[in-house]
Amino acid sequence: FIKEKYKDAGIDRVEIERSVNTVTITIHIARPGIIIGRGGVGVEELKKEIKKKFLDPKIDLNLNVQEISSPSLSANIILQNMISDIEKRVSYRRVMRQVIKREERTRAEGIKVKLAGRLDGAEIARKETLSSGKIPLHTIRADIDYAQGVAQTIYGSVGVKVWIYKGEVFTIAQNKK
């Protein structure tokens, strides 16, 4: 519901925590001003809407909006940008190249982008993959952010997948050695 309502706001993820009589919703977002609005009016309206639509009136609702420190390292936000560009009929090759170039300038160690479907309206559907850096998909301790989605074009749907490799995650035991 929240992702549909604010799809241009760059929502990375929505966390819902439930206890006996309180529900806490944390929205991780690239542009928090879109939800918050002037003087926090938007948050109050969203709270009322969620409470009315989904919750019992007795249950308390806490709504937290957190800004993402580096949205360029979020696969979900990159995916949303790619989908909006593809739906605006920008060439898929250009979209892929722009994303790869933008990611090379960030702290990401690698990125892989895959599009599948009727690319640029071709009669025969195909897959295109573009990657930069390394993406160790078989390494368990690799910190890889992954997102997938569908762009609805006038020719049909185009599947979009994004992998971002942020480095390796080491456990506490390994760090002590």
Q: What is the pLDDT of residues 93-147, one digit of tens each?
A: 999 999 998 888 887 889 999 999 999 888 999 999 999 988 898 888 888 899 9
Alpha-carbon gap, residue 91 to 85, rounded angstroms: 8
The first and second tokens of residue 116, run together, are 């599948």
Range(s) of the chain covered by CATH 3.30.300.20: 2-67
CA-angle at 92, arms to 131 and 89, nearest 5°: 155
Strand partners, 144: 165
Superfamily classification of domain 71-172: Ribosomal protein S3, C-terminal domain (3.30.1140.32)
Radius of gyration of the chain (CA): 19
Question: H or E segment at 173?
Answer: helix 172-176
pTM for the full predicted model? 0.79
Three-state DSSP state, 9: coil
**Range(s) of the chain covered by CATH 3.30.1140.32:** 71-172
What is 2-67's CATH number, 3.40.50.150, 3.30.300.20, 3.40.640.10, 3.40.50.720? 3.30.300.20
User: What's the rounded Cα separation, in Å, for the pair 104 and 30?
Assistant: 19
* C-beta separation of 107 from 73 below 8 A: yes
CA-wise closest residue to 61 among 47, 44, 40: 47
Looking at residue 23, its pLDDT comes to 85
